[in-house]
A and B are shown apart, each in its own frame.
Chain A
């Protein structure tokens, strides 16, 4: 407890400090020109010694032969690698609690629970993440709706990218229930919802018939599920184990939902089914699972991203804080590359693909003319453990500078040399 409050205090100060410093170092300029040593556009080929022209926070031009207007403010990054910021397509961090106790609460929203000063956002910014979809956790059948935020801003409103994005469905049965009951619960909810809509339409029809004014609104507790059924929302369906995947696909088919599958580590067994269904996928943070070979009794390493890659499935990575590598999106991508995935593809699944899955690819996910000027400046190759995020630009505004990152200094430099107490006895 004590420590957390201390951390939060520090981070408040820090954010205030950063924000303050921003205020005069890098005011939002109309015209910007980034001179980068290497630009990883994701959209197309990498560009050596290119220029990115930014106007009012959107990219006007990218290339080597872009001539810089006289009035543009030039950002020197000749020794840097510039690429679009990372996007988290699914996370439940940054909330006080991820799950509600009730099994069916589609009406709640993470928007009301996101904690702007949670260190998670600060860390994410430091690690080059520029947008994340915060969804409820995996323990609730109908968990609620999500919120897309950027990890920068003092209030949720300031952080907001999209308020009403995605609805979380979890097929993992909650304690002392079974998968049978869980599925039945879901079916019953939907059938009751459809009954409700039918009656609603009926009442509406009657009202029209009798030329009465009809002002009845749809029940707020059902609204989000209704939106899900008419494709206004995307369903993020969590599959705990491979056995849940067929059911998720069945749900998607029967109700024709926009669906993204959020997979547990066991789901690689169903890679074929998923490929057939052509649904987008968010992999579990654990990318390597071990399986005992029945014949030889040996342990075999299963590299999940490779299995899906070979099956032709389009996926995005996610992170968790349980292990220090895993909490970096770039590390997840690097792991995939380690076992034979192409670097371009790996990078796509931490930038463009997640942006597509959460529906912000019109703004984020790549460096293209017309997209938002949101990019990160790296000291080296993105998948090299030795390279750091040096600067982060969100919509043409530099919101993070490593040189001014007090926390990072604290975490890396030795404590101020004070006289170590000598034992006196």
Chain B
């Protein structure tokens, strides 16, 4: 497993290298080799006791066939190629890799936000450190993807991304999808002091910048029209000139050049529903404000944290707004904290009972706590959430909310082979993760210490 961790980065470095010391290549290739199954080219077949595809009903004694990193087939009787590498997980559970929808992995301490309060043009990918050590530990708990969004100290913090924990040390290699959503926060106070006035100003300044964006878009289109106009005229003019240079024709005036504004460009995408707007809101007032904004501007809203959501579950459900809920328990954050004053462990249960589509995140103190995803789901179940929904809330639902469900989140033919093999049911905290594959590559394999 160690070799595994170290290998993939070396491998990635070697790939592109022109002039490289032969030994270096050999060594790393050798390491690669011993970390078996690192070649996605080979066909892999997993024989499982129970397959939890999440998308459909569980399959007993099924087989999952993996071809070049994708799931080729899944079911009780699948033909296995002769040369296929067979992983026997008889009696074990097999499920899709889990997703932490509120991760702080790779985040550089104190750099989740910039000093400016409205900064949608920022990109979380610029603020990450791929060289942190925690990632393998998290992957070893069956978490194969993390969703990282900017912090809550700016009103509009920037755009977020989903990374895969494939052991690489190159953000580019890890990136599953960038620009997932634009992160905003209402009524979250940096230093635990909060006033209704503060909330009001938060709300109104976000609203203001959205309005300005509308104006900006309008101007941009106007200018585009003028430019088209000008080009047409100019073409005619040139034609005339060519026809007979002598003729007197007044040259059309070039309209003022339009300076694109990155800040507005991003928000424009939000208004045109290209990118969802992820608003972190804890208290009822803030949640309602967020909903009101969504009503007014019609962007796709993702409610983040949603601590007091259970008090307005109906409102949220009625609008079909998706929720990334967390932390499930206040133990994950430093209490006592003002936003979490009315935190209730039954939040997830109540919301999901009301039919709200929600994903569970850990939102722990540090990067490593992303490993507690399954734990969070179990806690939700203990407080009354439906088992299947809870499991879905850490796999398929986040994938759907974040718009990556076509690639990850469930075990279906055609999806990427991010697969976890567990000794028992994933919601049983005492069951151990045996093996984790990402796109068919083994990123973790348990060696028994006992």
- Which of A179, A269, A312 lies in contact with B127, CB distance below 8 A? A179
Interface string of B118-160 (1 = CB under 8 A from A): 0101111011111101000000000000000010000000100
**Contact, CB under 8 Å: A276 / B114:** no
Q: Which of A174-198 contact B (CB under 8 A)?
A: 176-184, 188, 195
Given contacts A188-B262, A273-B13, contact A180 B257 (CB under 8 A): no
Interface string of A46-76 (1 = CB under 8 A from B): 0000000000000000000000000000000
**Contact, CB under 8 Å: A181 / B122:** yes
CA gap between A262 and B12 in the complex, in Å: 23
CA gap between A184 and B115 in the complex, in Å: 13
**Contact, CB under 8 Å: B257 / A243:** no
A interface SS class: helix
CA gap between A199 and B258 in the complex, in Å: 11
Interface string of B228-266 (1 = CB under 8 A from A): 000000000000000000000000000001010010000
The segment out of B15-23, B95-103, B288-296 that lies at the interface is B15-23
Q: Does B212 lie at the interface of the complex (its beta carbon under 8 Å from any beta carbon of A)? A: no
CA gap between A241 and B131 in the complex, in Å: 10
How far apart are B160's CB and chain A's nearest CB, in angstroms? 11
**Contact, CB under 8 Å: B150 / A180:** yes
Q: Which of B1-49 contact A (CB under 8 A)?
A: 9-10, 12-13, 16-21, 24
Given contacts A247-B126, A312-B19, A312-B20, contact A178 B113 (CB under 8 A): yes
**Contact, CB under 8 Å: A180 / B158:** yes
- Which of A180, A275, A278 lies in contact with B126, CB distance below 8 A? A180
CB-defined contacts of A178 to chain B, threshold 8 Å:
108, 110-115, 122, 127
Q: Does A294 lie at the interface of the complex (its beta carbon under 8 Å from any beta carbon of B)? A: yes
Considering the complex, give the chain B residue whose CB is closest to the CB of A271: B13
Q: Does A27 lie at the interface of the complex (its beta carbon under 8 Å from any beta carbon of B)? A: no
**Contact, CB under 8 Å: B16 / A272:** no
How far apart are A186's CB and chain B's nearest CB, in angstroms? 10
Interface residues on B, range: 35 or more
Q: Does B116 lie at the interface of the complex (its beta carbon under 8 Å from any beta carbon of A)? A: yes
Q: Does A10 lie at the interface of the complex (its beta carbon under 8 Å from any beta carbon of B)? A: no
CA gap between A195 and B13 in the complex, in Å: 35
Given contacts A199-B257, A312-B19, contact A273 B170 (CB under 8 A): yes
**Contact, CB under 8 Å: B108 / A275:** no
CA gap between A278 and B9 in the complex, in Å: 17
What is the total of A-B residue contacts with beta carbons within 8 Å?
Answer: 85
Q: Does B210 lie at the interface of the complex (its beta carbon under 8 Å from any beta carbon of A)? A: no
- Which of B110, B121, B131, B262 lies in contact with A269, CB distance below 8 A? B131
Q: Does A173 lie at the interface of the complex (its beta carbon under 8 Å from any beta carbon of B)? A: yes
Q: Does A242 lie at the interface of the complex (its beta carbon under 8 Å from any beta carbon of B)? A: yes
CA gap between A247 and B130 in the complex, in Å: 12
CB-defined contacts of A181 to chain B, threshold 8 Å:
114-116, 119, 122
CB-defined contacts of B127 to chain A, threshold 8 Å:
178-180
CA gap between A173 and B116 in the complex, in Å: 14
Given contacts A184-B121, A312-B24, contact A276 B257 (CB under 8 A): no
CB-defined contacts of A272 to chain B, threshold 8 Å:
9-10, 12-13, 169
B interface SS class: loop
Q: Does B171 lie at the interface of the complex (its beta carbon under 8 Å from any beta carbon of A)? A: yes
How far apart are A104's CB and chain B's nearest CB, in angstroms? 16
Q: Does A246 lie at the interface of the complex (its beta carbon under 8 Å from any beta carbon of B)? A: yes
**Contact, CB under 8 Å: B131 / A242:** yes
How far apart are B322's CB and chain A's nearest CB, in angstroms? 25
CA gap between A233 and B169 in the complex, in Å: 31
**Contact, CB under 8 Å: A184 / B122:** yes
CA gap between A311 and B119 in the complex, in Å: 39
- Which of B10, B119, B133 lies in contact with A294, CB distance below 8 A? B133
Q: Does A15 lie at the interface of the complex (its beta carbon under 8 Å from any beta carbon of B)? A: no
Considering the complex, give the chain A residue whose CB is closest to the CB of B19: A312
Interface string of A140-156 (1 = CB under 8 A from B): 00000000000000000
How far apart are B127's CB and chain A's nearest CB, in angstroms? 4
B126, B172, B259 interface centre (most CB from chain A within 10 Å): B126
Q: Does A270 lie at the interface of the complex (its beta carbon under 8 Å from any beta carbon of B)? A: yes
**Contact, CB under 8 Å: B126 / A276:** no
How far apart are A252's CB and chain B's nearest CB, in angstroms? 15
CA gap between A76 and B314 in the complex, in Å: 96
Considering the complex, give the chain A residue whose CB is closest to the CB of B21: A312
**Contact, CB under 8 Å: A276 / B9:** no
Given contact pairs A178-B114, A243-B131, enumerate 18 new A-B contacts (beta carbons under 8 Å).
Answer: A178-B122, A180-B114, A180-B127, A180-B150, A180-B158, A181-B119, A183-B126, A184-B114, A184-B123, A184-B126, A243-B108, A246-B170, A246-B172, A270-B131, A275-B17, A276-B16, A310-B24, A312-B24
Top 3 A-B pairs ranked by shortest CB distance? Answer: A181-B114, A272-B13, A243-B129
Interface residues of A (CB under 8 A from B): 173, 176-184, 188, 195, 199, 241-243, 246-247, 269-270, 272-273, 275-276, 278, 294, 310-312
